[in-house]
A = this chain, B = another copy of it.
């Protein structure tokens, strides 16, 4: 028997503790091709909110009663799968359970000699790849351009900003606390950072931070922050729609200014994406990111919750903006 955390009911609006249930389940036998795992670190990510809804999203839905599942690092304790031996750590898409028996397909061994284990959930995992491909394939940043990043202190934002600095851009981050702003300015060397929660006139603050206008907007949040940024884009701007965390808990269809007129006037491009569109190119992305991590050009930060039972609390904290960098739960 082991414990698992399931989706007890679909959240309406902000997820609540009551939407989760912990229960005991029997593990299957370790048949051929399976591995036995003990999770080491589990990831909580904004996109998982969409999977809790009933309607179609860009990832498959959780069924009510299913275990929650997401990115994670786990230790192999027993293996009947070729190429995976007990004692190794693997990264993959795993359920929220204290012990797991699962198919080895999709699990990848992670190399602790390159970076600490939890990097593989962040800068060397989905968030890092999201930043890398979004910026490269949609942003097409050029030196000296101005990029604005919303959710700038989150798992994706901190990588986007650092990659843009490496490319010689003017980097402006929007975040929700003074400590995040301080981190962006003083640890990651962003050119400007704005606390949208305490800034009285975001429009004016943004105009001051972006004296040459906005060439690229990396959007992790959506909503009114985006409205302000989009009102200051330059001709031929590129807007990367990576996340819309401000809207994930909306209970009715969000409305706002129609953006098409702005895109027309500015000959601007807006494109949504999910990192798995680039799955075939993950090795390229991981290699580029790993080189920058090893050479010290990319810094990494996470916020760690401790203990299996903290998973729902950590997930809910995402929507309260409590994390600096990647939010993970260590078991």
Contact = CB atoms under 8 A, between A and B. Distances in A.
Nearest to A47: B264
A256 interface: yes
A271 B265 contact: no
A48 interface: no
A58 B269 contact: no
Contacts of A268: 271-272
A258 B255 contact: yes
A219 interface: yes
Interface residues of A, number: 36
Nearest to A223: B258
Contact of A255 (B219, B257, B262, B274): B257
Given A253-B257, A255-B255, A258-B247, A272 B277 contact: no
A283 interface: no
A106 interface: no
Number of this chain's copies in the complex: 2
Contacts of A269: 269-272
Interface centre among A57, A243, A261, A264 (most CB of B within 10 A): A264
Nearest to A222: B260
A116 interface: no
Contacts of A129: none
A265 B272 contact: yes
Interface in A173-194: none
Contacts of A247: 258, 260-261
Contacts of A265: 50, 56-58, 272
A241 interface: yes
A57 B266 CA distance: 8
A260 B273 CA distance: 11
Contacts of A61: none
A254 B272 CA distance: 22
B270 A260 contact: yes
A287 interface: no
Nearest to A242: B264
Interface string A214-253: 0000010011001000000000000001111001000001
Interface of A: 50, 56-58, 219, 222-223, 226, 241-244, 247, 253-274, 277
Given A219-B260, A243-B264, A264-B274, 6 more contacts: A57-B265, A244-B261, A254-B257, A256-B256, A263-B271, A268-B272
Closest 8 CB pairs of A and B: A263-B272, A264-B272, A269-B271, A58-B265, A254-B258, A256-B258, A270-B270, A241-B264
